[in-house]
A = this chain, B = another copy of it.
Amino acid sequence: MSQESWLPTLKTDTPEEGYNLAIKLARKAVGLTQPDENVRKKLRPVYANNADSLILASQVVAINFQTVAAANNYWRD
């Protein structure tokens, strides 16, 4: 496993860290589709001030959190 990997593992110590990883996963896909940071910065106020965009963004986090939570066996252990 490369040390520079942005995603070395899906394991996290706590649910909160798992949630943060879900956000990271959601943003990564955006960054890979639009690699230009300046464009992303310009788009940020667009969706951060639009109710439906915020809900859609929350949905992507929710889907990724399903994956991370399952990977951590829901932090039950």
Q: Is the CB of A8 within 8 A of B19?
A: no
Query: What number of copies of this chain does the assembly contain?
Result: 6
Produce 1/0 per residue, A16-53, CB < 8 A to B: 10010001011111101110000100011011111111
Chain A interface SS verdict (over half): helix
Q: Is the CB of A10 within 8 A of B69?
A: yes
Query: What range describes how many residues of A lie at the interface?
Result: 35 or more
A20 to nearest B CB, angstroms? 9
Q: Is the CB of B19 within 8 A of A28?
A: yes
A: which residues have CB within 8 A of B?
Answer: 1-2, 5-11, 13-16, 19, 23, 25-30, 32-34, 39, 43-44, 46-67, 69-71, 74-76
